[in-house]
Amino acid sequence: MGRMQRLDVRGKTSVITGAASGMGAEIARELARRGARLALIDRNADGLATLTADLVGAGHTTHSVDLTDDVAVFELASEIEAAHPHVQTLITCAGSSMLGDISQVTMEEMRWLMDVNLWGTVNITQALLPAMRRERAAHITHLVSIYGLAAPAGRIPYAMSKFAVRGFTESLRHELERSSVTVGAVYPAGVKTGIILHGRYAAAIDPAVAQRAAAAQAQMYHTEPADAAKRIVEATLRRKTRTMVGREARLVDILTRLTPTHYWGPMRRPLREAIDTTTPIA
């Protein structure tokens, strides 16, 4: 089957969720430069239009959809297949964050984040998989997070959703191991996107306190989005099963392997301000 052959994206279609901004937009630019046709998905139609106007190449399409709407997602898959006869790669970048400890977040807030981060990844994957199976070689890349490797305090909803995406990705990879479709997970850390600053926080938190925590987290981000995008695209083309992006990701990966029950000790101090959603603003 040539299962692990390197992919050639020229003339083939890459589907990207969360494409209007952040990592999704940078990955779209990188793939367009390499000659891919793109099907770009995001709730932000204006952001998609702005991005598409700057992309090299032709044949790109944009699709404004709420990934928490399963019916709309499966209808979207048919729309994409009609416009793109060769869906070769799917890269899921759509997601959000959630600040708050267990006493602050509500069940509704946690379910919302799970709908966005987990089910919005599962449904688009399931919907596009039949088209991808028809290709001689195809690859699915799910962006997870280092918080799918290590679960910090103050991030229960986010860590739950990312550990679930990791589990979905690994199970799917095993199910498809004798097919033409390979599956990989990317674990980014510290990429300078706006996810933490524009993410949600529990309604019970003082907005000023939430912004302080988000800003502290953002200060820990060092990797440029364009650099991360190149690494993610390369991992996709090489059909890698597991990719760390950023120095912190590699460190956390090692730490959780060395001490799976005590990794929080060395992580607690660097994250102390980023997880503090209770201390009032002086």
Q: Choosing from 147, 158, 187, 221, which is the catalytic residue?
A: 158
pLDDT digits (tens, 9 = 90+) for 176-203: 999 999 999 999 987 766 666 667 889 9
115 in a structural domain: yes
Looking at the predicted structure, is the pLDDT value of residue 277 above 60? yes
Average pLDDT over residues 99-125: 97
282 in a structural domain: no
Q: Please provide the DSSP assignment of 49-74 as one string.
A: HHHHHH-SSS--EEEE--TT-HHHHH
4 in a structural domain: no
Distance separating alpha carbons of residues 91 and 58, to the nearest angstrom: 19
159 in a structural domain: yes
107 in a structural domain: yes
pLDDT band at 215 (very low <50, low <70, confident <90, very high): confident
Check which CATH number belongs to the domain holding 119 and give it: 3.40.50.720
Which of 194, 188, 193, 163 minimizes the C-alpha distance to 248? 188
Distance separating alpha carbons of residues 172 and 160, to the nearest angstrom: 18
Range of the domain at 139: 13-271
Distance separating alpha carbons of residues 40 and 64, to the nearest angstrom: 8
What is the pTM (predicted TM-score) of this model? Answer: 0.94
281 in a structural domain: no
Average pLDDT over residues 80-91: 97
* Token pair belonging to 68: 């928490």
Give me the half-sphere count of Cα atoms (radius 13 Å) on the Cβ side of residue 259: 9
Domain count along the chain: 1
Is 158 among the residues known to form the active site? yes
Looking at the predicted structure, is the pLDDT value of residue 5 above 70? yes
* Token pair belonging to 116: 């966005």
Q: Is 153 exposed, middle or buried (0-12, 13-18, 19+ CB in 10 A)?
A: middle
pLDDT digits (tens, 9 = 90+) for 28-71: 999 999 999 999 999 999 999 999 999 999 899 999 999 999 99
278 in a structural domain: no
164 in a structural domain: yes
What's the pLDDT at 1?
40
